[in-house]
Amino acid sequence: MDIKNISQAVIGRLPRYYRYLGELKDEGVERISSQELSKEMHVTASQIRQDFNHFGGFGQQGYGYNTEYLYNEIGKILGLDQKHNMILVGAGNLGSALVRYMNFRNRGFFFKAAFDINEALYGKQIAGITVYPLDSIADYIRENEIDIAVLTIPKAGAVKVAEVLSTCPIKAIWNFAHTDLELPERIQVENVHLSDSLMRLSYEIRRYEEESSVKTPNKPAHRK
């Protein structure tokens, strides 16, 4: 299967399929048709079939897909059949919350250590992982087969940290710092901006209110 030329839009939908299929599998659902999956996920059945056809269709035969097979195959495409060791950079509020969220483990993502510049945090534990001085990050990565660095630090420090990480054998950065990072091609980056999601939500509130004010013209469109 050649997954190099598949559009980002299709790849972007895979985690959602994976989550739903995981829930169905846990509920003991053995087979599911694209129509049923479509109802569950509010995506058209033809979109689902088109998406799956990029990966050879996952062998839908007779009545629907085998839920567990489909779940495992999508997991493989997402690289979730491998374990990923991670480190945290920035052991503050956001970073600590991520480390404490145990569900990442269920997906194969394991926090191994945290790094910070605040001396008061050195040696402290967050959900069983230790906070070390930032200076020791390169040695730690080399000695511990770390795949992913999770950056939960302010923008000001992120570029410098990325420079250090560029020299280390990591595979990816999960970047929460609000800045674009310059990295070698071998290091993959996923930028996360929770506020973008909140802005999309704000847009949806606005759209809904405008649409309902057209239907019921006396109702004010926006709260001030």
Residues that bind ligand NAI (CB under 6 A): 89-95, 115-118, 134, 152-154, 157, 161, 176, 178, 192-195
Query: Residue 7 has what DSSP assignment?
Result: -
In order, the DSSP letters of 87-117 are: EEE--SHHHHHHHH-THHHHTTEEEEEEEES
HSE value, Cβ hemisphere, 13 Å, CA-based, for 194: 4
Q: Which two tokens stand for residue 140?
A: 């730690």
Closest CA relative to residue 74, chosen from 125, 19, 123, 4: 19
Query: Minimal distance in Å, beta carbon 116 to ligand NAI?
Result: 4
CB of 151 to ligand NAI, least distance (A): 8
- Residue number of the CB atom closest to ligand NAI: 92
H or E stretch at 53: helix 45-53
**What is the nearest approach in angstroms of ligand NAI to the Cβ of residue 94?**
3
Tell the smallest beta-carbon distance from residue 179 to ligand NAI (Å): 9
- Minimum distance, C-beta of residue 197 to ligand NAI, in the bound complex (Å): 8
Q: 3-state DSSP call for residue 1?
A: coil
Within 10 A of 141 (CB to CB), how many other CB atoms are there? 23
Measured from the CB atom, the residue of 124 and 171 that comes closer to ligand NAI is 124
CA distance 120 to 63: 60
Output 142 or 193, the one with its CB closest to ligand NAI.
Answer: 193
Nearer to ligand NAI, 24 or 165 (CB): 165
* Nearer to ligand NAI (CB atom), residue 70 or residue 89: 89
Q: Closer to ligand NAI by CB, 196 or 210: give it.
A: 196
